[in-house]
Amino acid sequence: MSDAPVPSGGDSAAEFIERGQQAAAKGDWKAAVAAWIAGSNAGSLDSANLVVTAVPPLKAQADEGDVEAQALVAGVLLDFFTDAAHPMVLSYATAAARAGHPAAQRTLGVMYRTGRGVEADAFQAEALFTAAAEAGDAYAAFNLAGMHITGDARVRDHDRCLRLLRQAVSGGVIEAAAVLGDRLSAIDEDAEALSWYLYAAQRGHAGSMFGAGCRYRDGLGTAPDPVQAVRWFLAVLDKGNGDGIHEAIQLVKQGMTDEQIRTAGRLAGRPSEAETLIRTARRHGG
């Protein structure tokens, strides 16, 4: 995927759809598509379908030389259409990238990074991600950091990788905070690692919720805190992931009070699961 950023602000998919429809009614197809992409990223199939229907008018603007429209249509074709669209993606992305559009540079970089529609070329991808990141594109910074992590960058640079991840986080890429936590944890910078896991967890990243729970359980980067540990193990349930339940059960069996368990459940927004854990703890105690 071209990894188009998701606008922040807590808007729902329905709000993005409405915003896009209002823009489309005014003939502002670029704003409409941007809103519908955000709605699609928020999980709306209806919003994704609207993105696809908006391609013809957006493509017309791109064909007239509108650089922003070229960059948008390239990203839409890459993310929402089949491989048959790759020649058009390459054409629009190349035109906009040559004009210096960061999102187009990123899209073209993804093509070279993954070999979609072009022969894979890590050096080209790195150059394009670098240009886009230097222009402020957060997802390009994230992609470039990934190349440093995998060793595909020309010169692997740990410090630069961390800077790129911080840039990505500041630009709204939540996944970058989780990866930043992983990188810092690997060099035993546990306190800062926990801060980034919490940043991502508070914004709905399931892996970081589980990671934060483990660190509070084990006292990595902080004093052991079973309440916060169980809180994050329960919070993972919101993402349809039950991995934290076993960990929470083990903690409550170690002697947490009912009050502690209820506090953890309240913080997680999971009071009924907290009561289940209390019953489990009582059975264990009996």
Instruction: Evaluate if pTM is beyond 0.75.
Output: yes
pLDDT tens column, 266-286: 999 999 999 999 998 877 664
**What dihedral angle (degrees, nearest 10) is formed by the CA atoms of 265, 271, 272, 274?**
30
- How many Cα neighbours within 13 Å face the side chain of 154? 8
pLDDT tens column, 10-19: 568 899 999 9
Q: What is the pLDDT of residue 9?
A: 46
Buried-exposed string 239-254: b where 16+ CB fall within 10 A, e elsewhere: eeeeebbebbbebbee
Percent of the chain with pLDDT over 90: 89
Percent of the chain with pLDDT over 70: 95
Q: Are 97 and 104 spatial neighbours (Cβ–Cβ below 8 Å)?
A: yes
Average pLDDT over residues 72-99: 97
pLDDT tens column, 146-194: 999 999 999 989 999 999 999 999 999 999 999 999 999 999 999 999 9
Average pLDDT over residues 121-125: 97
- Binned at pLDDT 50, 70 and 90, residue 57 comes out as very high
pLDDT tens column, 200-226: 999 999 999 999 999 999 999 999 999
pLDDT of 47 over the 80 cut: yes
pLDDT tens column, 18-35: 999 999 999 999 999 999
Average pLDDT over residues 85-109: 98
pLDDT of 7 over the 90 cut: no
Polymer length in residues for the chain = 286
Mean pLDDT (the chain) is: 93
pLDDT tens column, 250-266: 999 999 999 999 999 99
- Binned at pLDDT 50, 70 and 90, residue 3 comes out as low
Q: Are 234 and 268 spatial neighbours (Cβ–Cβ below 8 Å)?
A: yes
Average pLDDT over residues 64-77: 97
- Binned at pLDDT 50, 70 and 90, residue 241 comes out as confident
Nearest to 139 by CA among 181, 106, 183: 106
Eight-class DSSP state of 202: T
Q: What is the pLDDT of residue 5?
A: 43
- Give the chain's domains with CATH numbers: 1-137 (1.25.40), 199-286 (no CATH)
| Long-range interactions of 166-171: CB distance < 8 A, separation 24+ | 167/133, 167/138, 167/141, 168/138, 168/139, 168/141, 168/142, 169/196, 169/199, 170/138, 171/5, 171/136, 171/137, 171/138, 171/139, 171/141
| Sequence letter at residue 43 | G
Average pLDDT over residues 32-52: 93
Distance CA 266, CA 261 (A): 9
Q: What is the pLDDT of residue 242?
A: 86
